[in-house]
Amino acid sequence: MKHTKVKDLLNSTKILQEVTAKGWVRTFRNNQFIALNDGSTIHNIQCVVDFENTPEAILKRITTGAAICVSGDLVESQGAGQKYEIQVKKLEILGDSDPEKFPMQPKKHSLEFLRENAHLRIRTNAFGAIMRVRSALSFAVHQYFQQKGFVYVNTPIITGSDAEGAGEMFQVSALPFDNTPRTEEGKVNYKEDFFGKQTNLTVSGQLEAETYAMALGQVYTFGPTFRAENSNTSRHLAEFWMIEPEVAFNDLADNMDLAEDFIKYVVRYAVDNCADDLKFLESRLADEEKQKPQAERSEMTLLEKLNFVLDNNFKRVSYTEAIDILKDSTPNKKKKFQYLIEEWGADLQSEHERFLVEKHFKSPVILFDYPAKIKAFYMRLNDNTEPGKETVRAMDILFPGIGEIVGGSQREERLDVLIEKMKTLGIDEEELWWYLDTRRFGSAVHSGFGLGFERLVLFVTGMTNIRDVIPFPRTPQNAEF
162 pLDDT tier (thresholds 50, 70, 90): low
Angle separating helix axes 275-290 and 453-461, nearest 10 degrees: 80
Distance of alpha carbon 148 from alpha carbon 469, whole angstroms = 27
Tell me which H or E stretch contains 391: strand 391-399
Q: What is the pLDDT of residue 165?
A: 59
Average pLDDT over residues 23-48: 97
- Greater confidence (17 vs 285) lies with 285
| 161 pLDDT more than 80 | no
pLDDT at 233 (0 to 100): 83
More confident: 217 or 350: 217
CATH fold group of domain 123-168+203-468: BirA Bifunctional Protein; domain 2 (3.30.930)
Say whether 300 sits in a helix, a strand or coil: coil
Mean pLDDT of 170-175: 94
Per-residue b or e along 389-402, where b marks 16 or more CB atoms closer than 10 Å to that residue's CB: eebbbbbbbbbbbb
| The pLDDT of residue 342 | 93
Class of residue 305 by CB neighbours under 10 A (exposed 0-12, middle 13-18, buried 19+): buried
Q: What is the dihedral of CA 4, 6, 8, 10, to 10 degrees?
A: 130
DSSP string covering 31-73, please? TTEEEEE-SSSS--EEEE--GGGS-HHHHHH--TT-EEEEEEE
Give 87-125 pLDDT, tens digit per residue.
999 999 999 999 999 999 888 899 999 999 999 999 999
Instruction: Locate CATH 3.30.930.10 in the chain.
Output: 123-168+203-468
pLDDT at 353: 94
Quick check: 232 pLDDT over 90? no
Q: Which pLDDT value is given to residue 297?
A: 80
Look at residues 273, 52, 296 and name the one whose alpha carbon lies nearest to residue 143. Answer: 273
For residue 163, pLDDT over 70 is answered with: no
Calpha distance 432→163 (Å, rounded): 10
pLDDT of residue 166: 58
CATH number of 6-105: 2.40.50.140
Residue 353 CB: number of other CB atoms within 10 A?
A: 23
Share of the chain above pLDDT 70, in %: 99
Average pLDDT, the chain: 94
| DSSP structure class, residue 79 | S
Angle between helices 302-311 and 453-461 (to 10 degrees): 120
Per-residue pLDDT tens over the stretch 249-262: 999 999 999 999 99
Ranges in the chain annotated CATH 2.40.50.140: 6-105
Structure pTM?
A: 0.94
Q: What is the pLDDT of residue 194?
A: 96
Give the model confidence (pLDDT) of 320-365 as tens digits: 999 999 999 999 999 999 999 999 999 999 899 999 999 999 999 9
